[in-house]
Amino acid sequence: MGLPDKPGKDQGPVYVPDTSAILTGKIDILSMKCIVPSGVIKEIRKGKMGRLMDHEMCVIQITDPKNKFLDVVRSAARETGDLPYLSQTDMDIIAVALEIGGIIISDDYSLQNVSSKLKIEFQGCGLECIKSRISWGYVCKGCGAKYEEKLESCRICGHKITRYPLNEEKR
Ligand SMILES: [Zn+2]
């Protein structure tokens, strides 16, 4: 008989994204294990993108932080001076991440600052953009000749060169 599974410990990282991290679409929540406090879901539903998110919402787990973790977050935020700048949802996010050992995804400076104070892992959602960085190829508008470097004009026909994303090229 093996030991019982401990969800969240052996299944890779668990992420706790804030509302804007989800709404910007910069993170791929469909391929990540995400847990958020219910306040984040409420904020998303209030927003313009509320309806668009429905098919993605079902993959997000929802939990609400226990009071003892909220107390820890509140006193850490008071120490760093970030308390006035944190919403209740921000506090919930930090408390959930603290409780489950999750990684916060947020570009909010106050949220990152308190997370850092509590030694919670966090990342900005800007960092995730790098993963989908496009590399470009160059193609002649006239004859369709392709180049690896950007040229002023086509070596074959002299037309202008335009760029195209290499990742989308079908070979
Ligand atoms: Zn050409």
Ligand 1 centroid – CA 160 distance (Å): 8
- pLDDT computed for residue 47 by the predictor: 73
Select from 115, 88, 86, 113 the least CA-distant residue to 16. Answer: 115
Q: Which residue has the tokens 């002649």?
A: 140
Same fold, 14-129 and 134-168: no
Indicate the CATH number for domain 134-168: 2.20.28.10
Q: Which CATH number fits domain 14-129: 3.40.50.1010, 3.40.630.10, 3.40.1050.10, 3.40.50.300?
A: 3.40.50.1010
Ligand 1 centroid – CA 168 distance (Å): 21
Ligand 1 centroid – CA 170 distance (Å): 20
Select from 68, 79, 82, 73 the least CA-distant residue to 16. Answer: 73
Q: Which residues pair with 16 in a beta bridge?
A: 104
pTM score, whole prediction: 0.66
The answer to whether 98 and 52 have CB atoms below 8 angstroms apart is: no
- pLDDT computed for residue 133 by the predictor: 44
Give domain limits for the chain. 14-129, 134-168
Ligand 1 centroid – CA 112 distance (Å): 50
- pLDDT computed for residue 132 by the predictor: 41
Ligand 1 centroid – CA 135 distance (Å): 21
Select from 1, 21, 28 the least CA-distant residue to 112. Answer: 21
Q: How many CA atoms lie within 13 A of 137 on its CB side?
A: 13
Q: Which residues of the chain have pLDDT under 50?
A: 1-9, 127-133, 168-171
Cα-based torsion angle of the residue sequence 126, 28, 19, 55 in order, rounded to the nearest 10 degrees? 160
- pLDDT computed for residue 22 by the predictor: 86
Select from 55, 52, 18 the least CA-distant residue to 34. Answer: 18
- pLDDT computed for residue 135 by the predictor: 66
- pLDDT computed for residue 39 by the predictor: 94
Select from 150, 169, 170 the least CA-distant residue to 160. Answer: 150
Ligand 1 centroid – CA 151 distance (Å): 11
**Helices vs. strands in the chain: H and E counts, helices first:** 7, 8
Name the token pair of 105: 């995804």
- pLDDT computed for residue 9 by the predictor: 47
What values do phi and psi take at 73, rounded to 5?
Answer: -65, -45
